[in-house]
Amino acid sequence: MAQTLNYSRPFAVVTGASSGIGRQLAQCAAEKGYDLLIAADEPEISAAAAELKATGVEVDFIQADLATTEGVDKLVAAAMGRPVDILLANAGRGLGHGFLDQAFADAKRVIDTNIVGTVYLVHKIGNEMRGRRTGRILLTGSIAGLMPGAFQAVYNGTKAFVDSFSFALRNELKDSGVSVTCLMPGATDTLFFERAGMLDTKVGTDEKMDPAEVAKIGFEAMLNGEGDVVAGMKNKLQAAAAHVTPSSVLAEQHRKMAAPGTAKN
Ligand SMILES: NC(=O)c1ccc[n+]([C@@H]2O[C@H](COP(=O)([O-])OP(=O)(O)OC[C@H]3O[C@@H](n4cnc5c(N)ncnc54)[C@H](OP(=O)(O)O)[C@@H]3O)[C@@H](O)[C@H]2O)c1
């Protein structure tokens, strides 16, 4: 249940805050003194809220399926009209294996979560921010959006959407007082690869960045009003290379790290 929040502090809404990058983004916001409304689909979100309360800010949580418009409506209702200073639209999921071998419902859920729910949430809260001529939006895109993702084709496509959408919206809002930032992580040590069924892949088993470090980089970029940030030097190099490499080559490289059975052991 939503509770009455203390308006003396700024207010952050963070999605996908039960684990991984989103949990750490919520930590960054709490440590900067933002009251929080955090959301995720599973009951674990209540444990994250309890931990975040130790920072001394007000923390409210909502369990909502953000792949649905009803779930997004539930999240917006839980804010109870309180002006949102920062929106961290981070909830997302991956899905490994060849596209035709995936259950279509699973592939659709990736699209509904990463694109439809994200865009609907940004439309709702973005309008409210523009009306007040202030606010910051951080979208968690990915360097995956820069490369055709053989054996993670739908996921990479959704992140190409998020990366592109973020830059376009940023431009549209450039004189509005609202900034839009795209956090583009590379492989990060979260539940993502396990949930995507990719623990038998090279990318699923290779060394990854710490989600706390990734979140800090994204949070700082958002506060500074930057357009995008690729987390980590190795990922920066990968992103730069992707801009000048033919798509067919990128797809073949992606196959080598994401096809089932590419894990070392
Ligand atoms: N890990 C990486 O290598 C990597 C790289 C680049 C970008 N990213 C992006 O980073 C973001 C966070 O992922 P992560 O790596 O931190 O993975 P994670 O640990 O699996 O966290 C995903 C978060 O999103 C939430 N979520 C997923 N589907 C949802 C839904 N339908 N409704 C509400 N909440 C939902 C999850 O909550 P529930 O458990 O309750 O579903 C969880 O809190 C995603 O957008 C992902 O695409 C990750």
Whether pLDDT at 3 is above 90: no
For residue 162, what are the contacts with CB-CB under 8 A and spacing of at least 6? Answer: 114, 115, 118, 139, 140, 141, 142, 145, 182
Q: Is there an atom of ligand 1 within 6 Å of 67 CB?
A: yes
Q: Is 7 a catalytic residue?
A: no
Q: Is there an atom of ligand 1 within 6 Å of 152 CB?
A: no
pLDDT in tens, 136-146: 999 999 999 99
pLDDT for 265 equals: 60
Closest residue by CA, ligand 1 atom 14: 20
Which amino acid would we find at residue 3? Q
Whether pLDDT at 6 is above 60: no
What is the Cα Rg of the chain in Å?
Answer: 18
Q: Where is average pLDDT lowest: 5-14, 66-75, 80-89?
A: 5-14
Position in ligand 1 atom list of the atom nearest CA 114: 45
pLDDT for 240 equals: 96
Q: Please state the rounded mean pLDDT for residues 65-73.
A: 98
Do 49 and 40 form a contact (C-beta atoms < 8 A)? Answer: no
Cα maximum dimension of the chain: 54
Catalytic residue selected from 7, 34, 120, 155: 155
**CA 8 to centroid of ligand 1, rounded, Å:** 30
Q: Which residue has the higher pLDDT, 2 or 176?
A: 176
**CA 176 to centroid of ligand 1, rounded, Å:** 29
Handedness of CA 71, 132, 168, 142 (dihedral sign): negative
Whether pLDDT at 166 is above 60: yes
Which domains are delineated in the chain?
A: 11-258 (3.40.50.720)
Test site for ligand 1: of 15, 24, 41, most ligand atoms within 8 A of the Cβ: 41
Q: What is the mean pLDDT of the chain?
A: 96
**CA 192 to centroid of ligand 1, rounded, Å:** 6
For residue 151, what are the contacts with CB-CB under 8 A and spacing of at least 6? Answer: 96, 97, 98, 201, 254, 255, 258, 259, 260
Whether pLDDT at 4 is above 90: no
pLDDT in tens, 196-218: 999 999 999 999 999 999 999 99
